[in-house]
Structure 1
Amino acid sequence: MQTATFAGGCFWCVEAVFKRLRGVHGIASGYAGGTTQNPTYEQVCSGQTGHAEVIQIEFDESQIGFEDLLNVFFTSHDPTTLNRQGEDVGTQYRSAVFYHSEQQQQQAEAYISQHSADFDAPIVTEVTEINNYYAAENYHQDYFARNPQQVYCNAVIPPKLAKLRKRWLPLLKADD
């Protein structure tokens, strides 16, 4: 098993997308990239801790590669907006790849270099070594599956899932 950590806006949205991929065996929403130890959701949302909302993915590289995860990541959010995704604004919503190995760093940097022309604006996704990760509170875990009618989730996540199915169908689990 390998680990990947991505920040692409609200972790509820990012988690809902990645949990549908074959080879993904675990996802945990959390916080990374900041300075406060064991931050709370409220502290992270204040923008004062430096953390981003992230998901940490456990995946089986024999079923899905890190490059596949990068493809889904960069096409499931807007990597060209600094510190925001849609109406979610703040450094906690920045786009970031928190790499766990030199190989992941190289792949993320190569992806950005090779695909920058695919976007209408420069990619602002940061590529940073994971130096801390704190799991989010339990009520954030598997949030969309447990709260599909929550107004925010209902408005923002279904279009992301439709785009995922349209663009990355071969990467989806058989039951999705």
Structure 2
Amino acid sequence: MEKIGFGGGCHWCTEGVFQALKGVLQVAQGFIQSEAPSDTWAEGVIVSFDPGVVSLEILAEVHLRTHSANGTYSPGGRYRSAIYVFEAEQRDTAMRAIARFATETGAASRTLVLPFLGFKPSDGRYQNYYRTDPSRPFCRRYIDPKLNYIRRHFAEVALPDATDRAP
């Protein structure tokens, strides 16, 4: 099992995205901290995964394609487009994925590769947000389109239904 952190937009969405993938064993939703100047707590998830089932390369690509990796919106700095690495070897993989994404989209990515320093879980009522009630208007509007994208473009690692596994 390996761990990697992802930040980009709302952690409800990010959690739902990674829970929809084969090989993802756990997704912890909350706030991640890195070193200065990215030391403010920002929304994110810690993904525990089986690299024999889903690679870090695929996880990074899914992340880059399911949030605004090229945008600049970040109210109060709480949304940071980032890949938080736990091990030095993960840095190179993340950097290659970002470079490939920028080449394919023709736009520079603002996604940072940062060392993971700390994590605070979000309030329990927000955990497993999509799985507990996928019919919420927020889920329908923001998370469902991302899950549909994953099923179309990452079918080999997509679960048939994101609510298939128990939280």
For the aligned pair, the TM-score class normalised by the smaller chain equals 0.7 to 0.9
User: Quick one: percent identity of the two aligned structures?
Assistant: 28
Residues 1:53 and 2:39 are matched in the alignment:
no
Residue segments in structure 1 that go unaligned for 5+ positions in a row? 36-48
Note if contact 2:66-2:146 (Cα within 8 Å) is conserved in structure 1.
yes
Give 1:56's aligned amino acid: I
Residues 1:157 and 2:147 are matched in the alignment:
no
CA distance in 1, matches of 2:134, 2:114: 32
**Partner of 2:107 in structure 1?**
121
**Cα offset for 1:75?**
1.0
Residues 1:22 and 2:8 are matched in the alignment:
no
CA distance in 1, matches of 2:48, 2:126: 17
Question: Structure 1 residues 137-146 or 113-122, which shifts more?
Answer: 113-122
Deviations 1:12-55 (A, max 9, x none): 111111111111111110111269xxxxxxxxxxxxx8211111
Note if contact 1:83-1:92 (Cα within 8 Å) is conserved in structure 2.
no
Note if contact 2:8-2:69 (Cα within 8 Å) is conserved in structure 1.
yes
**Partner of 1:110 in structure 2?**
96
Q: Match for 1:135 among 116, 121, 141?
A: 121
**Cα offset for 1:63?**
1.0
Give the TM-score, by structure 1 length.
0.83
Q: Match for 1:97 among 68, 78, 83?
A: 83
Residue segments in structure 2 that go unaligned for 5+ positions in a row? 163-167
Give the TM-score, by structure 2 length.
0.87
Give 2:90's aligned amino acid: Q
CA RMSD of aligned residues (A): 1.9
Matches within 5 A, 1:65-84: 65-84=55-74
Give 1:65's aligned amino acid: S
Give 1:25's aligned amino acid: L
SS at match of 2:20: coil
Matched residue count: 159
